[in-house]
Amino acid sequence: MPVSVPALPSGVDPAWLPPEVFRPLGSRRTLISGTGPVVDTVHGEVACACAQFGGQVVRTARVQGASYDLVLELGEDGDPDGLRDEGFALVRADGVTRVTAAGQAGLLYGLFHLVRLGEAAFEGERAREVHRPALALRMLDHWDNMAVHPVMGQVERGYASGSLFWHDGLARGSRDELERVRWYGRLLAACGVNAVAVNNVNVHETEAHLLTDRIGEVAAIADALRPYGIRTHLSVSFAAPVVLGGLPTADPLHESVPDWWARTTGRVYAAIPDFGGYVVKADSEGQPGPFTYGRSHADGANMLAAALTPYGGTVHWRAFVYDHRQDWRDRSTDRARAAYDHFAPLDGEFAPNAVLQVKHGPMDFQTREPISPVIGAMPNTRLAVEIQATQEYTGQQRHVCWLGPMWSEALRFRPEGEEEQSVGELARGGGLVAVSNAGDDPFWTGHPLAQANLYTVGRLAWQPDAEPRAVLDEWIGMTFVPAQSADPERLRSGLHAVLDGSWRTYEKYTAPLGVGFMVQPGHHYGPSVDGYEYSPWGTYHFADRDGVGVDRSRATGTGFAGQYAKPWAEVYETPETCPDELLLFFHHVPYGHVLHSGETVIQHIYDTHFDGVGEVEEARRVWAGLEDLVDPARHARAAKRYEEQLRSACEWRDQINTYFFRKSGVPDARGRRIH
């Protein structure tokens, strides 16, 4: 039986699944072969497309001799190609396109692959291709609160209105709301995401109860996501045995505690048989953890892993542990070192179903950071790499900042040298995890162009070495359907013009040369050069009248550069070898220091800040010129946000330039206005 495609609630943007993208598929004769609930989903998708575009679909248990344009089949003779659950093979011969999968999810991913190909899927011949996800776990973490948090709101670091899952203390339960959750699952499946953690890693009191007496609300979300091959995960409080269970301790080595977790986890699986597992932020920014009991993070993670083992679940243990009560006067402590110092010694101690979830950079999702040295340092641990789709530090979905190139650089980076594995390869054990940027905003992500980040997450998780511009091109093709446009080339090239370089543009007009954190404290939007300079958060730039930057060298600094394997330890150790874009992350240099680019640091600051604003002006102009080719609501929303982006970019330019001019006293070599 086909499962009906969810209805798009009124007023909600279809994102990269507008009806038109199903036209090529929907105008063909399709045969679907195989059984199971996700095959039912595939069937429903094809049936819906055919109903709109005049095609036909037949479902059989076995493929018969009749003539079809497309065959979608579950393979019947084992899995000779090693497609496993999620892979699929594609071939076209004799006028028939054939997608073969070994598992139901593979068929679903094969279907969306055809949607991406469009008419090309049904033209000419096509040699057999095998597609498998490089990473088995492709996950979104929602930092959604169940109850509205007095400071952080409904969604922590959310810039897309409310939560898709929760509203004011309750799970969303109306028909329209659950249809929207199903639609969200559909969007995610179409880009390759297969796991969602439904609540904030900062687990407050109300949310703690999702683990026990409110697990039914999680189960309802899981039911809505399951048809699209998505498993549901839950963020839990390490203190749950105390808070929820009434135990006197949450010590992982106290016998009552593993026992409590085992019983509790059993009840979770009774409610959600394919439950994905737990996400834990422990001993971090005020969250409880094993340190309270003198235990290691491996002790903590392994206890939860043991509770999940009987059911095939996984614990994602976040490596974001540092001292957020640092004294700014103390220049020897370095927050960048913390994750490595805490976790590298534990390599090999984590259980097989414990994944250590590591932010891609050593700090916290800044516009430019080096790769976390933890990623190359734990060969005997399953690592997941965490990236941030929600634009906390990159313009909060008021600025266009497509992060594909940043994530791609991170995933292609080779921590142990050019001959060794890339970050994308090192993440095979644990996967790629992104903090979601989606909410109940009509455009899903606040800024319509921020949808590109969500799409890119899924596609890079499927294939970490994908060319990001090609992923963006896919997204443009699906979202804006240039094939249906009056001027497809202008539309496509305009969208590339405003998106391709938007991350580097953002980098230009904000904090320079990898120094990071020159943002307004708390909400993190807009510039405040000294906003965190005297704070306990460990995020300093040490600018004085002579120079700026953090000395993280082994020779004279905090030694952080020494946490890297040899090639990078040496590259980062000296200003002469350090890449320009990370110079101030690793070194404190005089304003007159000459970059590899040939400019001085101070002139680079001035130049990039003037240039960055110019690029925003140009992007705004390009976007305005697409008005006739873009859906009016989508165009208007983005046009309005460009006004704010330009205002904010000017503010960044002026504050940064003025700050460094006042400090350095060096005038702009090109005589532009600095206040």
How many Cα atoms sit within 13 Å of 515 on the Cβ side? 27
Q: Which residue in 205, 534, 556, 667 binds a copy of itself (CB under 8 A)?
A: 534
- Footprint of a copy of itself on 312-371 (CB under 8 A): 328-329
Q: Which of 532, 579, 580, 578 is nearest to 555 (CA)?
A: 578
Q: Is 168 in the site for a copy of itself (CB under 8 A)?
A: no
Q: How many CB atoms lie within 10 A of CB 29?
A: 16
Stretch that binds a copy of itself, among 56-64, 67-75, 263-271, 544-552 (CB under 8 A): 544-552
Stretch that binds a copy of itself, among 110-118, 134-142, 298-306, 650-658 (CB under 8 A): 650-658
Minimum CB–partner distance for residue 313 and a copy of itself (Å)? 40
Beta bridge partners of 356: 317, 383
| Encoded amino acid at 284, one letter | S
Minimum CB–partner distance for residue 661 and a copy of itself (Å)? 8
Residue 111 or 543 with smaller CB distance to a copy of itself: 543
Residue 556 or 658 with smaller CB distance to a copy of itself: 658
Minimum CB–partner distance for residue 158 and a copy of itself (Å)? 18
**Which single residue is written with the structure tokens 């095959």?**
39
**Helix pair angle (468-480, 488-499), 10° resolution:** 130
Minimum CB–partner distance for residue 654 and a copy of itself (Å)? 6
- Pairing verdict, β 195-197 and 231-235: parallel
Tell me, what DSSP letter sits at residue 98? Answer: E
Sign (positive or negative) of CA dihedral 372, 377, 378, 379:
positive
Q: Which of 284, 278, 310, 312 is nearest to 297 (CA)?
A: 284
Stretch that binds a copy of itself, among 22-30, 261-269, 494-502, 539-547 (CB under 8 A): 539-547
Phi and psi at residue 160, to the nearest 5°: -140, 45
Residue 274 or 327 with smaller CB distance to a copy of itself: 327
Phi and psi at residue 472, to the nearest 5°: -65, -40
- Total chain residues near a copy of itself (CB under 8 A): 22
Please identify every residue annotated as catalytic. Answer: 285, 364, 392
**Which single residue is written with the structure tokens 């692959």?**
113
| Encoded amino acid at 622, one letter | V
Q: Which of 102, 36, 111 is nearest to 70 (CA)?
A: 111
Q: Which residue in 529, 595, 605, 619 binds a copy of itself (CB under 8 A)?
A: 529
d(CA 199, CA 145): 6
Residue 206 or 655 with smaller CB distance to a copy of itself: 655
Q: Is 643 in the site for a copy of itself (CB under 8 A)?
A: no
Stretch that binds a copy of itself, among 246-254, 275-283, 366-374, 648-656 (CB under 8 A): 648-656
Letters for 59-98 (x = contact with a copy of itself by CB under 8 A, - = none) are ----------------------------------------
Token pair listed for 571: 């590259």
Q: Is 527 in the site for a copy of itself (CB under 8 A)?
A: yes
Minimum CB–partner distance for residue 665 and a copy of itself (Å)? 5
Q: Is 512 in the site for a copy of itself (CB under 8 A)?
A: no
d(CA 648, CA 483): 35
Phi and psi at residue 335, to the nearest 5°: -55, -35
Q: Is 654 in the site for a copy of itself (CB under 8 A)?
A: yes
d(CA 195, CA 192): 10
Residue 566 or 673 with smaller CB distance to a copy of itself: 673
Token pair listed for 185: 């699952």
Q: Is 649 in the site for a copy of itself (CB under 8 A)?
A: no
Q: Is 525 in the site for a copy of itself (CB under 8 A)?
A: no
Query: What is the total residue count of the chain?
Result: 675
Phi and psi at residue 278, to the nearest 5°: -105, 150
Residue 340 or 659 with smaller CB distance to a copy of itself: 659
Q: Which residue in 546, 627, 628, 643 binds a copy of itself (CB under 8 A)?
A: 546
Residue 173 or 521 with smaller CB distance to a copy of itself: 521
Minimum CB–partner distance for residue 543 and a copy of itself (Å)? 7
d(CA 9, CA 625): 30
Q: Which residue in 37, 169, 665, 667 binds a copy of itself (CB under 8 A)?
A: 665
Minimum CB–partner distance for residue 584 and a copy of itself (Å)? 16
Q: Which residue in 76, 123, 487, 544 binds a copy of itself (CB under 8 A)?
A: 544
Residue 209 or 663 with smaller CB distance to a copy of itself: 663
d(CA 30, CA 673): 64
Stretch that binds a copy of itself, among 245-253, 478-486, 496-504, 542-550 (CB under 8 A): 542-550
Q: Is 504 in the site for a copy of itself (CB under 8 A)?
A: no
Beta strand extents in 70-159 (DSSP E only): 70-74, 88-93, 96-101, 126-131, 138-141, 144-149, 153-155
Q: Which residue in 17, 339, 499, 543 binds a copy of itself (CB under 8 A)?
A: 543
Q: Is 662 in the site for a copy of itself (CB under 8 A)?
A: yes
Q: Is 658 in the site for a copy of itself (CB under 8 A)?
A: yes
Task: Please report the DSSP string for 283-340 in residue order.
Answer: SSTT---GGGGT--HHHHHHHHHHHHGGGT-EEEEE-----TT--TT-SS--GGGHHH
Token pair listed for 333: 């402590």
Stretch that binds a copy of itself, among 219-227, 236-244, 273-281, 529-537 (CB under 8 A): 529-537
Minimum CB–partner distance for residue 331 and a copy of itself (Å)? 8
Chain contacts with a copy of itself (rule: CB under 8 A) = 328-329, 527-530, 534, 543-546, 651, 654-655, 658-659, 661-665, 675
